[in-house]
Amino acid sequence: MNYQTYKPHPDLESLISCYWTLEIPAADDAQRQRIIPDGTIEMAFILGDDIKRYTTEDHFILQPRSMVLGQIIEPFYIEPTGYVDTFAIRFYPYGFANFVTVPIRSLADKETPIEVLFEEKIAQKLEQEIIHATNTKQRIEIIERFLLKKLSEPSTVDHIVKTTIDALISTKGSTSISNILKDDLSKRRQLERKFAKQIGMSPKQLGRVIRLQSALKMLLNEEGENLTNIAYESEYYDQAHFIKDFKEFTGISPKEFLGNENMALSSIFYK
């Protein structure tokens, strides 16, 4: 399994977390992998064999070859059908709203083909350029030209939304919305509406995802760490609260997560 990340162009670094590539050789015993919420939106290009996403225990769809994966609210399973070769762009929670006109909430918990989000001919041209590029450097140059052109007409994220996200990230999801808004609680409904449109989930949901991210990183990078200490460091009420949130987002307990074959892919994303 070869997972690599790359930094975006300086003009895009406030909107894009990173570019990433993933290569996995074909295997006869490929395991289903559980994908869990991480608070981001991703545009992905499948360059290898098809990838299944399970909609139920026994039914699946094939993911689009060029797609945007919106905010994940509930975990789901994917399974490669052969050789995995993926190039993707990971946007900050508020980043992708700058490039499309559709409500971000409409993208949640599903894959949307890029031709649905951009003009069909432009989307097809982008897909072909990415497919026929000879290496990752070329693919990054192609996608950056595309995204920078999209930004040629000034488009900004509403100040209150970005301020809220910055506060959630800086406090690892532990601060409350009331604390962020301080004396101006009348903005709560406005904030909720703007989050639903621009981010695809509520401020509270995003805060929970960010806090779980912090705890997951501690769990993976310090496997001997006591769960009570992780809960304390991540500002959960107690260990029981941490385990309850963990199970809700991942479907299993923290102890079951470590060493679970179905979590191998999620684990490398978080380490």
The type of residue at 29 is: D
Residue 153 has a pLDDT of 56
**How do residues 182-222 score in pLDDT, each as one tens digit?**
656 566 777 777 777 777 888 888 888 888 888 888 888 76
CA angle 150, 153, 156 (to 5 degrees): 90
Q: What share of the chain is helix, strand, coil (3-state, %, to 5)?
A: 45, 20, 35
In the chain, the domains with their CATH numbers are 2-150 (2.60.120.10), 159-270 (1.10.10.60)
Using DSSP's 3-state secondary structure scheme, residue 142 falls into helix
End-to-end CA distance of the chain: 14
Alpha-carbon span 168 to 160, nearest angstrom: 12
Residue 235 has a pLDDT of 82
User: Does residue 156 surpass a pLDDT of 50?
Assistant: no
Q: What is the DSSP letter of 39?
A: S
239, 228 contact by CB (below 8 A):
yes
152, burial (CB in 10 Å: exposed 0-12, middle 13-18, buried 19+): exposed
267, 31 contact by CB (below 8 A):
no
Q: pTM for this one? A: 0.75
Residues β-bridged to residue 4: 21
Measured in whole angstroms, the distance separating CA 219 from the mean position of its chain's CA atoms is 19
Alpha-carbon span 198 to 168, nearest angstrom: 16
41, burial (CB in 10 Å: exposed 0-12, middle 13-18, buried 19+): buried
User: Does residue 239 surpass a pLDDT of 80?
Assistant: yes
Residue 187 has a pLDDT of 65
User: Does residue 50 surpass a pLDDT of 80?
Assistant: yes
Alpha-carbon span 49 to 71, nearest angstrom: 24
Extract the tokens encoding 199.
């981010």
Give the DSSP H/E element, type plus range, for residue 225. Answer: none
Give the DSSP per-residue string, 158-185.
-HHHHHHHHHHHHTTT-S-HHHHHTT-G
Residues in the chain: 271
Q: Compute the average pLDDT of residues 147-176.
A: 72
